[in-house]
Amino acid sequence: MIKPWTLDPDRLFDPEPSRRGVARELYEAVADLPLVCPHGHVPPVLLADPNASLGTPAELFVVPDHYVFRMLYSQGVPMEDLGVPTRDGTPVETDHRRIWQRFAENFHLFRGTPTGLWLQDELVNVFGVEEKLTGESAQRVYDHLAEKLASPEFAPRTLFERFNVEVLCTTDAATDTLEQHKKLRDEGWGERVRPTLRPDALVNLDTEDWWGSVKKLSEVSGMEVTGYHSFVQAIEERRAFFKEMGAVATDHAALTPHVERLPDAEAEGIFARALRGEAGGDDAARFTAHMLVELARMSVEDGLVMQLHVGSLRNHNETVFGRFGIDTGADIPMATEWTRNLGPLLNEYGSDPRFRLVVYTLDESTYSRELAPLAGHYPGLSLGAPWWFFDSPLGMRRYLDAVVETAGVRNLAGFNDDTRAFASIPARHNVWRRVVSDWLAGLVTTSVVDVEDAREMAWGLASGQAKSTYRLGELV
Amino acid sequence: MIKPWTLDPDRLFDPEPSRRGVARELYEAVADLPLVCPHGHVPPVLLADPNASLGTPAELFVVPDHYVFRMLYSQGVPMEDLGVPTRDGTPVETDHRRIWQRFAENFHLFRGTPTGLWLQDELVNVFGVEEKLTGESAQRVYDHLAEKLASPEFAPRTLFERFNVEVLCTTDAATDTLEQHKKLRDEGWGERVRPTLRPDALVNLDTEDWWGSVKKLSEVSGMEVTGYHSFVQAIEERRAFFKEMGAVATDHAALTPHVERLPDAEAEGIFARALRGEAGGDDAARFTAHMLVELARMSVEDGLVMQLHVGSLRNHNETVFGRFGIDTGADIPMATEWTRNLGPLLNEYGSDPRFRLVVYTLDESTYSRELAPLAGHYPGLSLGAPWWFFDSPLGMRRYLDAVVETAGVRNLAGFNDDTRAFASIPARHNVWRRVVSDWLAGLVTTSVVDVEDAREMAWGLASGQAKSTYRLGELV
Amino acid sequence: MIKPWTLDPDRLFDPEPSRRGVARELYEAVADLPLVCPHGHVPPVLLADPNASLGTPAELFVVPDHYVFRMLYSQGVPMEDLGVPTRDGTPVETDHRRIWQRFAENFHLFRGTPTGLWLQDELVNVFGVEEKLTGESAQRVYDHLAEKLASPEFAPRTLFERFNVEVLCTTDAATDTLEQHKKLRDEGWGERVRPTLRPDALVNLDTEDWWGSVKKLSEVSGMEVTGYHSFVQAIEERRAFFKEMGAVATDHAALTPHVERLPDAEAEGIFARALRGEAGGDDAARFTAHMLVELARMSVEDGLVMQLHVGSLRNHNETVFGRFGIDTGADIPMATEWTRNLGPLLNEYGSDPRFRLVVYTLDESTYSRELAPLAGHYPGLSLGAPWWFFDSPLGMRRYLDAVVETAGVRNLAGFNDDTRAFASIPARHNVWRRVVSDWLAGLVTTSVVDVEDAREMAWGLASGQAKSTYRLGELV
C-alpha cells in the first residue's frame, strides 16, 4: 500500500485559528524571498564544476550527513553499514541500495526531529517523492530519486537557481587557494558564491599537522612564516586575498570564548615554541585566546565580519573518531561563559563602528542571561541564529523567546543554514521562516506588536538582518 | 457546604479544540496500558505481606511524604506537628486526625503543583472522595478514607491489580537479603515485583556506618571483604544474586557524574585506607568515580541496566536533617556537567551493545545542551524521565521540548514514577500519559508528525520505551 | 497620516477563546487593586517636593533610562546625542526636541521588548497620546507631552493618587539622612512612601570612596566608626533609624550569593586593613560574604526583610562607564550558584520565623534548579519577582512555569517594579497582572486548578504576596 506523502501548507503554524491566520499572512510575504546564506559548508566545487552531481540517494542523504548517521548509530546501526568511509580504508558497505534500505527502515527515528522535517521537505518538495519513506517503499523511492538525480534539472547550479539563493558563502581554510571560487568568479557567479576565511587550523596550535598548515600558509601567501609577526602578516595577506575574492566574513571555532591579548613577546615566544614543536601546557589555549583578539583587530581594519562558533567539545567518542575521523565521533556541547570571557575583546573593539562580531552558542541558558544583554548594548556584537542542535522548530522558538525581549530584532544576525547538505537549504530556511512567522503571530494576537511592525520584523528575520549583519546589503 | 470534587476527563490537554481532539485520541489509546514501573521506592513488604495495609490517612498521605511536609514546613508548619518521627525519639504529634486537619487546612499550598494533582487524583479516583479537601471538610474526608483503608479492597495487592501494574521494581540495598522478594517469588509475584540493586552505601566511603555496610556485605555475600578485590567480587556476587531474584537493573546516586578509572593499586590503596578508617581528602570522591566505571564494567558483563541519579545535594538543612534524618532536610539540585564527566565511561562502554546506562538529571539546562546530544549518539546511553521536581506537567513539557528534537523517542527511557507512595502510582503515570499525548498532539496539529507516527510515539513513551530500555520487553 | 494608537484591552492574553475568557475574568478582579511597590528606585524628592516635575519628554523617557539608551546605543546612536550627561562635563546634546526626535526615529527598536510595551502604555494611558510614535510624529507627540507635563494633573503626587499606589518603597543609602522621607512623614505620606536601607557602599570595601561613606556613617549615626564593632553598631543604628522612618526592608546587591561567617578576629582584621587603605586580595569578597550573614542576623533581630539582588557584573563596557558613570556601561548577568552559596546563611537563619530573605536572580536556569526547591523548603526564604531583563511578558511566563510547580504561590514575593521611572509603574504592574491572569487561565483551562483557586492565586500574585512577604500586611 502506498502511503501518500504531502506537506501541510500550514505546517509549523499554531492551530489556534486567529494566530494561524496571522502566521499565514506574515509567512506569505517572506516565503519566497531569495535565500541569503551567509554561513555554511557547501563544497564550492559543487557549483564551480558544471558537471558536478549530487551523487546517489545514499551519497546525498546518508553517507556524508552526520545528523543522519549519528541517530542510526545511537540505535545500534554500525556506521560501516551506512557506507561511512574509514580513515584506514577498512572496507565498508558499498551497495548504496542496501545503505538506503537501512536508512529507510530506520526513518522513524527522525520523528519529531528537524532532520525528519528537512528530509521530508527535500524528498517531497525538491524531488517529488509521493509515498512515505519506509522499509517497504525504500527501493521504489530510491528508483525515483536516482532517476531525478541523473537528470539535468537536478544539477547543483540548476537547483541553485530553482532554490532562489541570492548569495551563498562557503567556509574555506585560510590556506585555500580558492581555485573553485576563481572559476565561479570567472563565470559571473562571484557575487552569488563567496568564500569565508577560517583560520582555525593555523590559530589552534593543537590541530593535527599544524606545522603542515603553517608551511602551506607560507606557500600560498608568498610570505615566509618564520615567527609570530610573519605569521600575522601572512594571515592578513590571506584575508586581503579572500576579500578580493568576494569574502565578507571570517569564521572561528573555539571550545570557549576566552580571549586575552598577550604581550607581543609572549605571543612570539609561544609561536616560536610551536614552530620548534615544543609548545605545551596552556600554550595552545593562550595562543587561541590571543589570536581571537588579533583577528578582531584585523576585522576592524579590513571590515570582514568575524564569526565565532563556541562550545562544542569535538570528537567525544574517541574510538569512532579514530576510525572515521572528524564530524563522525559526536561533537557535544558544553556550558559556556560569555560575560567575562568576551570582556577584553568587546572592551577593545565592541563599540567600534567598523567592527562586527557574530556569536553562535550551543548553551541555550546563555541566550537570555549573557548574549542578549551583551548584544543589546555593544554596537559591534550581533547574536547569531540558533545553531546546530537548536536549528529546529522548538530551538528557534526558545531562541526568539529568550533574546528578542532584550536584544530586539536588530541585534540579531537573522538565519543561516550552516549546512553542507546543499539540497536541504530551502527546507532549513523554510522552517525558520515559518517559525518566525508563527512566533510573530503570537506577538500580534496578544497585541505586543501590531501587524505592520510584525511584517517588518518578519522581513528582517527572514532576510534583511542576515544581509545587513554580514554587510551583504549592497545586493538586491 | 460541600464543594463537589471531580476530575476533568480532558485535564492537562490544551484547550484549543483541534489539538485537544488529537490529544484525546492519542491518550485514549494509551490511557489503560498496563503500568511499567522500572524504578521506584515502594517497600516490598507492602506487597509481600498479605496483611500489609496503607495505614491511616495521615500515614498514607502526610507523615512519610517529603513532597508534602516540606511544602507545609516552608510555610511555617513544624514537622513535629505533622507527625514526622524524630531520630532521637523526641515526641511528635500522634493524633492522626490533627495531622490530617493541619494538612487539609494547608492543602491550598499545593495549588498548581504536581503534588496537588496527584493528591486530588488519589483522593477522587482511588478513594472516591467527593468533596474538595479543606479545613472544613477535613474530618469528613478522614472518615471516608479511614473506612476505605480498612476494607480489603484497599489492601496493597488488591490495589496492585486494580492499578494494572505490569511490573514494579523496588530499590534495595546491595546488602539486602531480599526476604520480601523471596516471598513474592514463592507466591508467583516474582515477575511483577522485582528488586533493584543499589550499592551506594558501599561505594560511597562517606556513608554513615560504611564499615557496618561492608561487614554486612561480607556476611550476605559469603565472601570475606578484606580489600578492594574481594569487595568487587562480593558486589559481583550480590549482582548475580539480585539478577537471580529477578532484578533487571542497578541504581546509583552521586553528586556529580564524574567518573574515572583508577589504577588498580590506587583503588586498592583507597579501599585499604577506608577499611582502616583512614580515608580522607578526596578519597571518597575518587573511589566513587572509579566504582562507577567498575559498575559499568559489571553491567556490560551481566546485562543489568545501570541507572545514574545525579545532582542532588542531600540534607541541605543540617538542623532538620539532624533532627529528622534523611529525606527530610531538603535535597537541593545543583548545576551538573555531563559532557566531560561521563566521557571516560562512555568511551569505555558507551558503544558496547551489551551496555545500557540510564541517566537522570536535576539540571534542566543539560537536557538539550549535553544529554540529548550524548543519548543521540551513544548506543549504550538512554535519557531517563524528568526526575523529582520535574516529574510535573510543565517539567515534562520542558523535557520533551528539549530532548526529542535531538534524541528522538527511541533514546529515551520512557517514564518511571520513582515513588514510595504506592497509591500515587496511577496518578503519576496518568499525568505523564496525558502530557505526552497533548505534546504529541502539538506536533500533529503543526504537521511535524502525522497521527499514525504520533500514535506509535505515544505508545513508546507511555510503555514501550520503559520496557525495552529496562530489558523488560519479554513481558506482555 | 496619523496612525491611531490604542491599547488592546485583551493584550497579553492567549488568543484561544476559552483561555482568553478565563484570563479576562481573572484579570478584571485584580486589574484595579492598589499597587504595592515594595522595591524600586523612585527618588523620594519627586514625591516630597510638591513642586517636583517629571521634566521634559526627553528627561522623562530617554535621558535617565538605561533600558532605553542602551538599545539605541547598540544600534550606533552615541549616548552623547541622547543627552546622557558625562562625568567630566564634556558637552552633550542639550536640545531635548532633537533627543526626542532621535528616540522616536528609533522607536521601532523596541518592538517586542517590554520597554516598548511600557512606553506605549505610558504614552497612551498616562499621557493620552493618540498617534503612534515615529520620526514623523515625533514633534507633535512632543508638543502633546510637554503640554501635559506642564499641567498640575501630571505632578508626581497627583499621579501617585491616580496610579492608585498603596505603598512605594524607595532605595536609600544607609548613610542617607532621609530628609525627603521626613518631609513626607510630616505631611502624612509616611505610610505610603517608605525608605529602604541599602548599605552596599559600606559593605563592599571596593566601592569608590568607601572611606568617605564610612566617614559619613560616623556622622549620621553619631557613632564614631573606629573598627569592625563600631561599624556594625553604626549600621544597626541606621537600621533602627530607617525602621523608625517607616522602612520594612533592606536591600543588598552582590556579584555572587557567597556568604560566610568569618571569625570575629578576621572580620576585625579585614576592616582594620580597609580603614588603613590596605585591604587587598580577597578581603573585599570575604568581607561582603561575612556581612551578608551579619545583616541576616540583624534582620532576625529587627524584623526588616532582607533583599538580595545577585548576579550582575556591573559596568561591563569600561569606556562607557568611564565616560558616563554607573548604570550606563552595561551591567551583564552571570551564571549564579545558589545551592551551596546560600547554605551557611540558610542554615543559620533560614528556619527562624523572624527571618525573611527575598532573593532576586538574573540566572533563569536557577529558578527551577535551585531557588524554587530552596524556597519550597526554608520558611525564611521567598523568591523575588522576575528581575530586570526578565521583567517582561515571556520572562514572567518562564518564571511562573519554572517556580510555581515546586514552590507554590505562597513562597513567592509577588511583584515589584524595581524602577526609577515613576510614570512607568502602572504599566509594569499591568503587564504582570495580565501575564499572571493569562498564565493562571492556562491552569484553569487544563483543569490543574479550579477557577476559585485561580482567583485566590491571582490576588496573591497581584498584591497579597508582596504585602505579606514585605510585612506590609497591616495596610489595606
CA angle A405, A408, A412 (to 5 degrees): 120
Q: Give the pLDDT score at C476.
A: 38
Asked whether the beta carbons of residue C405 and residue B112 sit closer than 8 angstroms, the reply is yes
Chain B interface, mutation test: which of A6, A77, A113, most B Cβ atoms within 10 Å?
A: A113
Asked whether the beta carbons of residue B394 and residue C411 sit closer than 8 angstroms, the reply is no
Q: Which amino acid is at B195?
A: P
Q: Under DSSP, is residue C335 helix (H, G, I), strand (E, B) or coil?
A: coil
Per the CB < 8 A criterion, the answer to whether C29 and C455 are in contact is: yes
* Residue indicated by cell numbers 601567501: A221
For chain B, which residues lie within 8 Å of any Cβ of chain A, measuring from their own Cβ?
Answer: 16, 18-19, 335, 337, 339-340, 343, 346-347, 350-351, 353, 365, 368-370, 372-379, 401-402, 404-411, 443, 445-449, 453, 456-457
Asked whether the beta carbons of residue C408 and residue B111 sit closer than 8 angstroms, the reply is yes
Q: C51, exposed or middle or buried, with CB in 10 Å at 0-12, 13-18, 19+?
A: exposed
Asked whether the beta carbons of residue B330 and residue C374 sit closer than 8 angstroms, the reply is yes
Residue by residue, DSSP assigns A346-388 as HHHHTT-TT--EEEEES-THHIIIIIHHHHTT-TTEEEPPP-G
Look at residue A433 and tell me whether its pLDDT is greater than 50. yes
Q: Average model confidence (pLDDT) for chain B? A: 97
* Residue indicated by cell numbers 586580595: C281
Q: Which chains touch B (3 or more CB pairs under 8 A)?
A: A, C
Give domain status of residue A111, yes or no. yes
* Residue indicated by cell numbers 548553551: A363
Question: Pick from A8, A76, A113: which is nearest to B447 by CB?
Answer: A8
Q: Average model confidence (pLDDT) for chain C? A: 97
Residues of C in Cβ contact (< 8 Å) with B114: 405
Per-residue pLDDT averaged across A51-62, rounded? 97
Percent over 90 (pLDDT), chain C: 98
Per the CB < 8 A criterion, the answer to whether A341 and A257 are in contact is: yes
Handedness of CA A464, A465, A466, A471 (dihedral sign): positive
- Residue A146's alpha-carbon distances to A46, A132, A154, C47, in angstroms, are 18, 17, 10, 78
* Closest alpha carbon to A287 in A272, A302, A307: A272
Look at residue B475 and tell me whether its pLDDT is greater than 80. no
Confidence of residue A475 (pLDDT cuts 50, 70, 90): very low
Separation between Cα atoms, residue B69 and residue B59, nearest integer Å: 12
* Closest alpha carbon to C18 in C454, C393, C401, C443: C443
Separation between Cα atoms, residue B414 and residue B459, nearest integer Å: 10
- CA C297, distance to chain mean position in Å, is 24
Asked whether the beta carbons of residue A109 and residue B374 sit closer than 8 angstroms, the reply is no
A450: nearest CA in chain C? C111
Q: Which amino acid is at C476?
A: V
ipTM of the shown complex: 0.97
Q: Under DSSP, is residue B310 helix (H, G, I), strand (E, B) or coil?
A: strand
C469: nearest CA in chain B? B75
Confidence of residue A474 (pLDDT cuts 50, 70, 90): low
Per the CB < 8 A criterion, the answer to whether A250 and A295 are in contact is: yes
B62: CATH: 1.10.2020.10
Asked whether the beta carbons of residue B408 and residue A313 sit closer than 8 angstroms, the reply is no
Handedness of CA C63, C68, C70, C72 (dihedral sign): negative
Per-residue pLDDT averaged across A429-442, rounded? 98
Chain B interface, mutation test: which of A68, A320, A394, most B Cβ atoms within 10 Å?
A: A394
Q: Give the pLDDT score at C1.
A: 58
**Model confidence over C18-40: pLDDT tens digits?**
999 999 999 999 999 999 999 99
* Closest alpha carbon to C17 in A281, B17, B449: B17
Confidence of residue A1 (pLDDT cuts 50, 70, 90): low
Q: b or e along C207-239 (b: 16 or more beta carbons within 10 Å of the residue's beta carbon)?
A: eeebeebbebbbebbebebeebebbbebbbbbb
Per the CB < 8 A criterion, the answer to whether A377 and A347 are in contact is: no
* Closest alpha carbon to B364 in B322, B335, B405, B341: B335
Look at residue C110 and tell me whether its pLDDT is greater than 70. yes
Q: Which chains touch A (3 or more CB pairs under 8 A)?
A: B, C
Q: Give the pLDDT score at A4.
A: 83
Residues of A in Cβ contact (< 8 Å) with B457: 111-112
CA angle A329, A337, A285 (to 5 degrees): 65
Separation between Cα atoms, residue B138 and residue B442, nearest integer Å: 39
Q: Give the pLDDT score at C3.
A: 72
Among A37-41, A230-234, A470-474, B86-90, the least confident range = A470-474
How many domains does chain C fold into? 1
Domain of A71 in residue numbering reads as 53-154
Task: Give me the numbers of helices (H) and strands (E) for chain B, helices first please.
Answer: 22, 11
Question: Pick from B377, B408, B445: which is nearest to A317 by CB?
Answer: B377
Q: Which contiguous run of DSSP H or E holds residue B306?
A: strand B305-310
Give domain status of residue A138, yes or no. yes
Separation between Cα atoms, residue A29 and residue A44, nearest integer Å: 31
Per-residue pLDDT averaged across B113-122, rounded? 98
CA angle B421, B422, B424 (to 5 degrees): 70
Separation between Cα atoms, residue A268 and residue A228, nearest integer Å: 5
Q: Give the pLDDT score at B346.
A: 98
Q: Which contiguous run of DSSP H or E holds residue B253?
A: strand B249-254
- CA A283, distance to chain mean position in Å, is 29
**Model confidence over B317-327: pLDDT tens digits?**
999 999 999 99
Torsion of CA A328, A70, A256, C309, to 10 degrees: -170
Give domain status of residue B57, yes or no. yes
Residues of A in Cβ contact (< 8 Å) with C73: 377, 379
Look at residue B313 and tell me whether its pLDDT is greater than 60. yes
Q: Give the pLDDT score at B2.
A: 67
Q: Average model confidence (pLDDT) for chain A? A: 97
Per the CB < 8 A criterion, the answer to whether B412 and B33 are in contact is: no
Q: Give the pLDDT score at B474.
A: 53
Give domain status of residue A86, yes or no. yes
Separation between Cα atoms, residue A370 and residue A342, nearest integer Å: 10
Tell me the residue ranges of DSSP E strands in B329-462.
332-333, 357-361, 381-383
**Model confidence over A101-125: pLDDT tens digits?**
999 999 999 999 999 999 999 999 9
Per-residue pLDDT averaged across B15-43, rounded? 98
Asked whether the beta carbons of residue A457 and residue C319 sit closer than 8 angstroms, the reply is no
* Residue indicated by cell numbers 573606629: C226
Look at residue C4 and tell me whether its pLDDT is greater than 90. no
- Residue A255's alpha-carbon distances to A249, A308, A413, C2, C424, in angstroms, are 20, 10, 21, 52, 42
Look at residue C134 and tell me whether its pLDDT is greater than 70. yes
Q: Which contiguous run of DSSP H or E holds residue A216?
A: helix A210-221
- CA C258, distance to chain mean position in Å, is 21
Q: Give the pLDDT score at C244.
A: 97
Cell digits of residue C368 = 527551577
Look at residue C475 and tell me whether its pLDDT is greater than 80. no
Residues of B in Cβ contact (< 8 Å) with C449: 111-112, 116
Nearest chain B CA: its distance from A75 CA (Å): 5
Confidence of residue C474 (pLDDT cuts 50, 70, 90): low
Give domain status of residue A258, yes or no. no
Q: Give the pLDDT score at C470.
A: 98
Handedness of CA A404, A410, A412, A414 (dihedral sign): positive
Confidence of residue B216 (pLDDT cuts 50, 70, 90): very high
Residue by residue, DSSP assigns A4-45 as B----TTTTS-SSHHHHHHHHHHHHHHTTSPEEE-S----TH
Q: Which amino acid is at C181?
A: H
Residues of C in Cβ contact (< 8 Å) with A378: 74, 317, 330
Question: Pick from B74, B108, B363: which is nearest to C378 by CB?
Answer: B74
Q: Under DSSP, is residue C167 helix (H, G, I), strand (E, B) or coil?
A: strand
Separation between Cα atoms, residue C361 and residue C375, nearest integer Å: 13
Chain B interface, mutation test: which of C359, C369, C437, C453, most B Cβ atoms within 10 Å?
A: C369
**Model confidence over A143-181: pLDDT tens digits?**
999 999 999 999 999 999 999 999 999 999 999 999 999
Give me the residues paired with residue B37 across strands: B168
- CA A429, distance to chain mean position in Å, is 12
Separation between Cα atoms, residue B429 and residue B37, nearest integer Å: 9
Give domain status of residue C223, yes or no. no
Per the CB < 8 A criterion, the answer to whether B406 and B373 are in contact is: yes
* Closest alpha carbon to A373 in C121, C85, C335, C427: C335
Residue by residue, DSSP assigns B318-335 as HHHHHHH-TTTS--EE--
Query: What single DSSP character describes residue C52?
Result: -
Which bin fits C449, alpha (ψ -120 to 50), beta or left (φ > 0)? beta
- CA B84, distance to chain mean position in Å, is 21
Give domain status of residue A203, yes or no. no
Per-residue pLDDT averaged across A436-446, rounded? 98
Separation between Cα atoms, residue B117 and residue B125, nearest integer Å: 12
Look at residue C129 and tell me whether its pLDDT is greater than 50. yes
Q: Which contiguous run of DSSP H or E holds residue C441?
A: helix C425-445
Look at residue C2 and tell me whether its pLDDT is greater than 70. no
Q: What share of chain C is helix, strand, coil (3-state, %, to 5)?
A: 50, 10, 40
Q: Which residues, 6 or more positions from B1, have their beta carbon under 8 angstroms from its beta carbon?
A: none
Give domain status of residue C459, yes or no. no
